[in-house]
Amino acid sequence: MLDLVIEARSAALSAAITVKRILPFRLRRMVGPFIFMDHAGPISDLPVTPSALDVLPHPHIGLSTVSYLFGGRVTHRDSLGVEQVIRPGEVNWMTAGRGIAHSERFEDPAALSGGLEMIQTWVALPEKDEEAAPSFNNYKPEQLPVFTDKGVWMRLIAGDAYGLKSSVQTNSPLFYLHVNLGAGAVFGLPKEHSERGLYIVKGSVEVAGITYEAGKMLVFTKGVDPLLIAKEPATLMMLGGEPLGERFIWWNFVSSRRERIEQAKEDWKQGRIILPPNDNHEFVPLPDDKSRPAGNPPKPEPLS
């Protein structure tokens, strides 16, 4: 029924944010095209200076970043000159392609008065798209399909599932869902995709007689169709899709080619990946790490 249960680990995202890191994991690098997943918050004890939460400009290649907030507000700026305030329920899909840099700033203390909680994922790109031009798109909640039933509320963030299709532009077959279940609600997995997993944000769910608590990702065996039973009100992030093949990951770089990672390191050191023009006074330097991209998990500290 289950291939693996992943326990979230602690990692530092910035000076004031410690996140729960779910992917990558040493026994499971990817679920479908999803190669990275962080859960920040809920953070209610905020620093006096919100800028302590900031993630400074840093680079990416070979992936799309997906930011999804439950609470709070963050300002995104990137190499394209995009400046976007990200609000709860929106989908913010940045495709790095051949290279982009971006920052995440917390500039409005009033926006954080209710606390901060965010999920960030990375979606690896197919080989044909790894060197595509970078792009950024913001999608409002009303643009996303929503399904409700007794004890079930579901928003399709991206891809297709349960006969629904999201307007969010993607590069490969996948699904990404935000699901809220009432106590006792029963819910099944989407059958459209071969690789499927779910992360328990809040609450607990029972699968095949075993209860799993918040902070765990369940990765399911291909072809099985288990039922999930909410033991209490629960929030889930469900994701997966079709595998893309092996990917190397080092720091913020993802590629199907080891030598491309080495090039990205040098590009960042030499300033060939442009900083956001409206946020270019500071940045995250390349980590001092002699490791090569391989099968070992990346150091958690510099990832963002």
pLDDT digits (tens, 9 = 90+) for 112-127: 777 889 999 999 999 9
Name the residue with tokens 């072809």: 223
pLDDT at residue 160 in the model: 97
pLDDT tens profile 206-227: 999 999 999 999 999 998 889 9
- Per DSSP, which regions of 167-223 are E strands? 174-181, 186-188, 195-202, 204-207, 210-213, 216-220
Instruction: Say if CB 98 and CB 59 are below 8 A apart.
Output: no
Residue type, 110: A
Q: Is 266 helix (H, G, I), strand (E, B) or coil?
A: helix
Handedness of CA 112, 115, 121, 122 (dihedral sign): positive
What pLDDT was estimated at residue 54?
87
Looking at residue 289, what is its pLDDT? 61
Q: What is the pLDDT of residues 4-43, one digit of tens each?
A: 999 999 987 766 778 999 999 988 889 999 999 999 988 8
- 144's enclosing H/E stretch is none
Q: How confident is the model at residue 303 (pLDDT cuts 50, 70, 90)?
A: very low
Residue 15 contacts residue 43 (beta carbons within 8 Å): no
Query: Helix H segments across the chain?
Result: 258-269
Residue 107's pLDDT band (cuts 50, 70, 90): confident
Alpha-carbon dihedral angle through residues 40, 45, 49, 53, given to the nearest 10 degrees:
-10
Mean pLDDT lowest among 15-24, 77-86, 235-244, 291-300: 291-300
Q: What percent of the chain has pLDDT over 70?
A: 92
pLDDT at 168: 97
Tell me the residue type at 93. Answer: W
- Mean pLDDT of the residues in the chain: 91
